[in-house]
Amino acid sequence: MDREPEPVKPPKPTGAAQAIELRHLRYFVALADAGSFTRAAERIFIAQPTLSQQIRRLEEIVGAPLLQRRRDGVHLTTAGAVLLDGSRAVLSLVDQEVNRTRQAAGLGRQRLRVVVPPGLPDALAVEAASMLKSAAAADVELVWIETPLDAEFSLIRQRRADAGLGWLTASPETLPSPLDVMALAEFEPDVWIPSAHIAARRGTISLAEMVHMDVIHGPRRAEPGTYDAWTQVLQTVDPRFEFTDPPLRHSLQMNLAFAATADRPTAVLTGPSVIAASRPGLIRLPRPPVTHEMVRVNLAHRPLTATAALVWSGDLPRTLQQILFDTAESITSPDPARQVEPELKAMSLSATHLGQARSARAHGSHPRRHTA
The CATH number given to whatever domain includes residue 182 is 3.40.190.10
176-190 confidence digits (pLDDT tens):
878 999 999 889 999
Domain that holds residue 140: 109-186+306-363
Is the same domain home to 104 and 134? no
Q: Is 86 exposed, middle or buried (0-12, 13-18, 19+ CB in 10 A)?
A: exposed
Is the same domain home to 338 and 197? no
Is the same domain home to 23 and 102? yes
Is the same domain home to 114 and 181? yes
Q: Which residues of 221-257 are buried (b: 16+ CB within 10 A; e: fewer)?
A: ebbbbbbebbbeebeeeeeebebbebeeeeebebbbb
Is the same domain home to 173 and 204? no
325 in a domain, yes or no? yes
Q: Give the per-residue pLDDT at 294.
A: 92
Q: Which of 262, 284, 299 is the last residue of a domain?
A: 299
Is the same domain home to 61 and 71? yes
309-329 confidence digits (pLDDT tens):
999 998 888 888 999 999 998
Q: Write out residues in the chain with pLDDT < 50, as ranges.
A: 1-5, 13-16, 279-285, 290, 336-372
182 in a domain, yes or no? yes
Q: Give the per-residue pLDDT at 284.
A: 43
Q: Which of 108, 135, 168 is the last residue of a domain?
A: 108
Is the same domain home to 209 and 295? yes
372 in a domain, yes or no? no
Is the same domain home to 326 and 260? no
Q: Is 301 exposed, middle or buried (0-12, 13-18, 19+ CB in 10 A)?
A: exposed
Q: Give the per-residue pLDDT at 355.
A: 41
368 in a domain, yes or no? no
Is the same domain home to 149 and 204? no
Is the same domain home to 103 and 119? no
Is the same domain home to 151 and 182? yes
The CATH number given to whatever domain includes residue 71 is 1.10.10.10
CA dist., res. 25 & res. 59, Å (int): 11
For the chain, what is the domain count? Answer: 3
Q: Give the per-residue pLDDT at 295.
A: 93
113 in a domain, yes or no? yes
Strands (E), the chain: 67-70, 73-76, 110-115, 140-145, 163-168, 179-188, 191-194, 204-205, 214-216, 266-269, 274-275, 294-299, 306-313
Q: Which of 84, 108, 132 is the last residue of a domain?
A: 108
Quick one: how many helices (H) and strands (E) in the chain? 12, 13
Is the same domain home to 294 and 349? no
Torsion angle, alpha carbons of 186, 179, 224, 330, to 10:
30
13 in a domain, yes or no? yes
